[in-house]
Structures are given as C-alpha cells and as structure tokens.
A and B are shown apart, each in its own frame.
Chain A
Amino acid sequence: MNADTFVEECRREWKRLGVPAEIAGEMAAELRSDLADAAADHVPPEELLGAGAFDAPAFAASWASERGVVPATPPRRRRPVLPALVAAAIVLAAAALAVALFAGRSTHQARPATSPIASGGAIVVLDPKSGAVRRLVLQETSLVRHRLKLAHP
C-alpha cells in the first residue's frame, strides 16, 4: 500500500461525504505523519489501520462518522399511510364499479342480439376503447369457445 495514495483516497471519500475541508486536511495530515512513522519503524500499515488498510473509503468513512464530522442528511419524510390507503380504496372501488357497469351493460346489450350459442349466433358487446357497439359472430358451433370473429355491426 502506498501511503500517499491511501491518504488521497481518504481525502476523496471525505470530500464526497461532505466533511469540512479544514477537518479533512487535519485528518489527512495526521494520517500521513503516522503512516510515515510506521514506515520508518518497518511497521506494516495494517498494524496502524487494521483491515482498513485495504479499504481506504471504508476506513475514511468510519473515522469521519465516529468523529461526527459527516454532515447529517435530513431524514426522509415518511408518507402518511392513511391517505394512501384511502386513495387505494377509492381507486379499487371505482375500478370495481366500472367493471360492474361494463359487465351489466354488455349483458344487457348482448342478450337481445344473441342467438343460442349452440346454433352459432352472435354476441353484441360494447367496445371499451371506442364506445362503439360491436357484434361478435360465432363461426362454428363446435369451436364456439375458441374462435370468435369480430364483426362490425
């Protein structure tokens, strides 16, 4: 591990975290002088830095955090739960109402125009996109459940 590189990595992390420049400079100077002393005594950096010697950003973040020099980020505002639940309930109710109305109208409109399915008749339905009434013509009695051809009225 190169001491200068390690210190520079720490500085970058402190800058990223928003540690005030003066404090970051002080910590960097302390680290640099201690690493130089350790090197002069032939002491490996791990003796001074522990496992942090292999992960400069983690080491830097830990030090700054413990020292209390990382600016606090504003806590996330929690969204109120009750209004969200009420909104979800309203949406669900509206969807259920729409489905019920649609089903009722389809049934109502289909009934008069529909011949018995066994004879290969037709079903009149309301197109939900265009709002137009369409007629589904059943092609073959035996394939009534599988093959439907959409025919314009």
Chain B
Amino acid sequence: MRIIMISEMFNIEFFHPSAYYIIGGLLIPLLKGRIKQGFMLLLTLLAFFAVVNMPLGVYGVYEFLNWELTFGHVDKLSKVFAYIFTIMGVIGIIYSIHVKNDGEHLAAFYYIGGSLGVIFAGDFLTLFLFWEIMAFSSVFLVWYRKIPSSVDSGFRYLLWHVVGGLILFSGIMIQYSVSGDLSIQYLPFHGWYPTDLQSVATFLILIGFIVNAAVPPLGAWLPDAYSAATVTGAVFMSAFTTKTAVYALIRVCSGSEILIVLGVVMAIYGVVYAVLENDVRRLLAYHIISQVGYMVTGVGLGTQMAINGVVAHAFCHILYKSLLFMGTGSVLYATGTAKLSELGGLYKTMPRTMIYTIIGGLAISAFPLFSGFVSKSMTVAALGEEHYTWAFMGLMLASAGTFLHTGLKVPYFIWFGRDRGIKAKEPPWNMELAMIIGSLFCIGLGIFYKPLYALLPYTVHFEPYTAYHTWETLQILLFTQLGFFLLLKKLWCENTISMDTDWFPRKGAKVFMWFINKPLASLEINIIGEVYEFIVQKPILRMARWFKWVDTFIVDRTFSILANLTLLWSRKLQAIQSGQIQHYAMIMVAGVLTLILIGIILP
C-alpha cells in the first residue's frame, strides 16, 4: 500500500523531513491535550514516511548571495541515517508525550529537525546552520530540568559546542578560501598535524566534528550534560549529537588514520570512567563515548566494510542506547535518583523496566541474537582484516568492559544489590510503550539483520553468525560475567564524581577568576595606578594649566583688543552718518568714481 504524502499532493519529489519538525513543531504550543499528543506523533510519523518515499538525488538547491545552498543531498548514506533519526523521533516522542512543558517538546523537535538538516546538507554552510540549531535547541533539554546544577551544566554544554562550532566554521572558511567551493567534499586528514593551508582547513573541520563526537579530550561535555538533562531530554540527546558527528566524519573525513588511534583510546577511556561512575546516566554517557569510539575507529579505517560497520553500529546504537536511557530514566522518574549508591532491590517494584533495560544492555554488549552483535562485529572484523591487531584487541577489551557495566553493573545495582526498600512503580504507559518498541528493535535487528544490511551504503559481504565468531563473543562475555561476580566487592559505588578533561576549563576558570580578583586587581591598584598617575595624570594637568594660561592671556586678550578696535572704528564711522540723503548720495558717487578710477589705472 502506498502512503500518500504531502510531497505527492503538491507534486514535488523531495519533502525535507526537517520541515515537519521545525515548521510543524511551531504549532505544538497552540494545541492542547490529546490533540496535541496526536499531532506530535503524526508529525514524527510523517517525517519517517517522508524518508521512506524519498528518492536519491539532489534537491532543494537555493542561491544565497554568491553561494549555492543545498538542503537535500540524498544518497544511501544520508538516507540510512535519516531512517534511524526519524525512527528515533517516533520512539522519543512516544516516551516523552506525557511531558506538560511545550518548551521541552519544541526543543526536542528543533533538535531532531536540526540533525536531519545536517545529514541532508549538501554544502558546509547549510551543515553549519543546522549544526548550530542542534546545539542551541538541545541545551534547553538540559535547562528544562530546572535545577541549579543543570543550569550550570547547560551553560558548559553550550560553551563547548559554541567553541566547537567556531572551530568548524573557521575550517569551513579556510576551505572556502583555498578551494572557492563550499560544497561538502571528501577531505581526509592524513598525518598527525597540519602541514599546509588545505590541511589546516581539513584539520579544523575534523576538530569541529570530533567535539560533537565527544572524542577525548574534547568530549567531557557529554557525561556532564546528559546526566543533568531531563528524563526525556537525555533520551533524545543520547541519540542525535554524536551520531550526527559520526555521519559528518564518514562523509568528510573517512580514512583519516588519526581517527583509528583516537577511536580505540575513546572506546577504552569510556569504559574506564564507567567503572568509577556512581550516577547511572553518567555511566551510560561514558558508554556512549566508548561506543562512538568503535565508530570513530571504523571511520578512521575507512574501508567499505568498516564504513558499513560504522553505519550499522550507529543505527543499532541509537536504538539500544536510547532504550538504556529510557530504562534508567524511568528509574529516575519513579525514584527521584539515578545514583547507584542510593538504588537497589527494585526488581520487586519495577521488574518490567528491568527487562527492557537488560535487553538494551545485552544489545550494547553485542550478545548473539541482539542488535549490537550484527553491527559491532562488522567494524571489529574490518580491523582484523586489515591486520590492525592492536586496535582489534583494544576494541575487544572495551567490549568486555561494555558488558561489565551496562549488562551487569547497571542492572545489578539498580534492581538487585542492596534492597533499600524504595517505593517505586512502573512508569506511565507511554514510557513503557516506547521501551517495548525499543526492545523489539534490539532483538529484531539481532535476528533479522538483512533488511538493515540492505540499507547500508555499500554492498555487504559479511555474515555475523559464523560458529567461531559467535563462540568467541560468548566466551568473552560470559567470562566477563564470571569476573564481575568474583570482583563484585570492588564495584560498590561511592558517592563521588570523577575528574575529566573539563577539569581544565572548570578549574581553569576558577584560577582565571582568582587571577583577575587577586594579583591582577592589586597590580592594577598598586602599580598600574601609580604609574598612570605619574606618567599620564600629572603631565596632563601640567599641560592643562599651560592651556589655561594661553586661554586667558592670549586668546581672551586678542578678542578684547579686537573688540576695542571695532568700537573705535565705529565711532569714527559715526561721523559720516549725518542722516541727510544728499551726503549719502555724494559718498556713493565718490565710491563709484573711485572704483572706476581703480578700474582704469590698474590694468
């Protein structure tokens, strides 16, 4: 059955799905109750079907000043990302449909609209425009939590993204000055540092992208903001920002070797921090960094198989990560806390939420028959095929860590562990429905993976369920479980936070303010003030005194002399003012005669 779309009614081939989110979203505050909820769901579904019906090609090209802006660059790569973004839009809106705050809905809609705009952008200027829409709308998902710490986190989040955006923009400008072309091109970065102007441009663009991909040391904003966001906001945020960056990296920077190293470091770094985290959403946020590390590694490798793996992994990741954030968000919603040190024993009150979360945990851990298995293994196998043994082993290590935390630690300490007798109940029906849909995707994609493989940008020659590979994965995961239970005592969480690279801006800002208030202020008063008085103030006073003397004795006196002279002259002239007309006529004739005489004599 064909679904009739607005685009078909108006007889245009391409209808930008962002329009549903960005323009359609504006109507949300005008509606109320069930109608509003239905309308929001309708918009997300329309956007999804707009992607389904979208033909490949280039659409929406506009002239702007001297540039050509392309809003609809559709190929297999952008289309598969559009699929998962619009699916996530549907799931996320179902999860958050009970939220009363229209602002939060608008923020989510603009955020999703922005990410769709990025993946269909055909030139860097359009990409940058939507890139910034994402940053400035998603920050409201943090602020609407309305607690002091989320306000602070939101500002830090915004600062990171503004700086990242500016770096990206400067890269784009240099790229434009070098090539005179703004269209999005394939610009891989080779080596470790830029050597000429072109590579400076590429390098800056790469940095701009990896700030959003949360690559350390530029990724500390992610756990900071995602743990501070609203329950529903974090679900959206877990899906879009980093994956949009992965898309941009594939499009522009695939094959940049530096990304292999960064990606492996990132995968392990996220896992290490996850051990230390007490806040469960911070823990999951660090696992986003770890999982995006797999993708960044694959982008760095850049072979067809690796890129297929990255795209498939981004697709599955959005589904299982949002499921995990939905599950733990439900716990936060029901209990008011997300700290592992305060949770425990919830299986008696929230068993269904537990099952959904464990499904998400098994999917992210790449358990056979779950979605992570069919996607993660493709990237890792691509590394094996290219004989990057160290990177291969690093990612294998990280996958043990993934199961350790998300599959074991999170469920154990929330639903079992120490029973703290918390009174809680399962979340509202819409949140549960969203989790059921997410769970079905996580299992469904693990079993029926062919349709996903068909969407990938290149033809897939990879079979995940070989006996050896399945067995290899099962061994790693189940022996990780053994290690978990043997070392359980070490894993109890303490009420602490861990320093990340945001220590530098955060403590650095304190040092900066101290420097301003203490040494710099006293320097200003004691030294610069004195010097100023001696060098500037005193000479100026002296000069002013001299000017005053000049004013009174020369300027004023000149004027009074002139005035006196004028008076004297006037008195002399008074003599000829007799008041008799014949005298005036005589003077006039005399004057005319004088003029004539002058006229005759002079030439």
A and B co-occur in one complex: no
The residues of B with any CB-CB pair to A shorter than 8 Å are none
